[in-house]
Structure 1
Amino acid sequence: MAAGIDDYRRKCRDGALHAFGTARIFQRRADRLKRKTDMLTWVGLVVPLLIGALVGTFGRSKSWNAALTLAAVIGAVQLAISLWSLVKRWPEDLAYSSASVAANDSLAARYTALADDPPTLASLRTQYEKLEVEDSARRDRDSEKGVTDKERRRGMRATLRKFQRQCAGCQLVPTSLTPSDCDVCGRF
């Protein structure tokens, strides 16, 4: 039996749900990575600036050795964390997460627009198939990034809340992003 307009509208709404949830997962990752890299950058700049300001202001005072020792310890810790961030690829992960958010938000918006105002069946089918190809490629790339079950549940809750859908597990429509005891939309 051939799929009708209502079938494609349902598929588009489901595609929008999945893309929106994935965007929220990568948005959270991007936010966390941005905070970490901003802090590293700040510490990397503030320690040398403070040392320069202290030297310029006080010269060689009695507490200078203590200040220099403290700055050296902070600098060593910052250097170790910077090295760790490079090994763990924080800059690349931040760039990927940001790109994934943009792509998935775009997919969700286009799926929603197609579901809300479908063209003729033939055009709807063609546009849906194009979106599916793009969505499938994005899902393949995103799945390589090791999304955890905890992240999936957080994304599910955000999606259910946004689209005012009932959870299949707890049978509730989430009104907040506060975790619940549900195994589908909570426990994160």
Structure 2
Amino acid sequence: MDERIRELELHHRIKNNLQIINSLINLQSENFDDEDVINAFRDTQNRVSSMSLVHQKLYQSQELNNLSLNGYIKDLAENLNDIYGGNNTKINVDVQDFHLGIDTIIPLGMIVNEIISNSLKYAFSDDDNGIINIEFNSNKCYVLIIEDNGKGIPDNIDIENPGTLGLQLINTLVKQLNGEIELERKSGTKFIIRF
């Protein structure tokens, strides 16, 4: 068996195992009636789905060590909008088609997952026409910008020491990429991540 076939099989198995984990989480969530607990399970499922999507894309890719970021981010944003976008939210994706290794794309995808999920859940009321923009480019470093035109993150939330799991996870993943994060709170929320 050549190396390419082994790698394809590995990504296929990882994707399948992550889907099994997702199913187990779903089954476990059915034992609870508390809406907060059910939402926590759903958020965990979405994090696992974000990782599973990477392996699915790698399995389908011609270049096993690299994944097209543009297609991955578009699919991820579309999946999240299907799950959380009960309002009229539009997600615009302007991502240069870099090919990044799996050690970069998994944390990057999870960062996108967390920020977009939070925007879709908290930034807009039901009758808002929300807009979320995702940009990714490179000049001297990689720059990810995610912004929305929603109500914004409250001033009392410190991005460096957040009390929420989502923001803590974002900070941890940015550090994993040896990056830095900046938050702007003008007319919505804007995350700028450089690494």
Relative contact order: is structure 1 or structure 2 higher (C-alpha 8 Å, sep ≥ 6)? 1
Normalised to the residue count of structure 2, the TM-score between the two structures is 0.26
**Which is greater in Rg?**
1
TM-score (norm 1): 0.27
